[in-house]
Amino acid sequence: IAGIAVAARHGILIRSSAFLEELADLTSLVVDKTGTLTFGTLRLQSIQDSAGHADLLPLAASLGSASSHPVSRALAGLVDKDQLLPLSDIRERQGLGVVASTAHGEAALGRPELFEQLGIATPAVPEH
């Protein structure tokens, strides 16, 4: 019973102690990715800025917040809401990214193909 109480405090619901006892013999566990074990939203922990452009993070986060793509929206979570920049004329390019107007001109966030379509040269994407 103590194990069930501890699990409940951590948000884990166990129907009976019999299920808990059977876990001792468990050798494999298969789960799906529908949010059963997650919150259903992506969250970035940190970002690696190898090019020295950390000052672009508020702009990237602002564009990410305007996108419907889950990874872009997760990028928006790396800055406080008061750091998000005002955007206008927001255009999402399905499967490519998002383009918007800022106080300083046009800005884009997305795949290399988006920048190619916009006529913007980009360096090769590094292999990880």
Instruction: Enumerate the active-site residues.
Output: 32
Q: Which of 18, 26, 20, 22 is nearest to 7 (CA)?
A: 20
User: Which residues on neighbouring strands pair with residue 97, listed in sequence order?
Assistant: 93, 110
* Residue corresponding to tokens 């876990």: 23
Residue 98: strand, helix, or coil: strand
How far is it, in rounded angstroms, from Cα 40 to Cα 16? 27
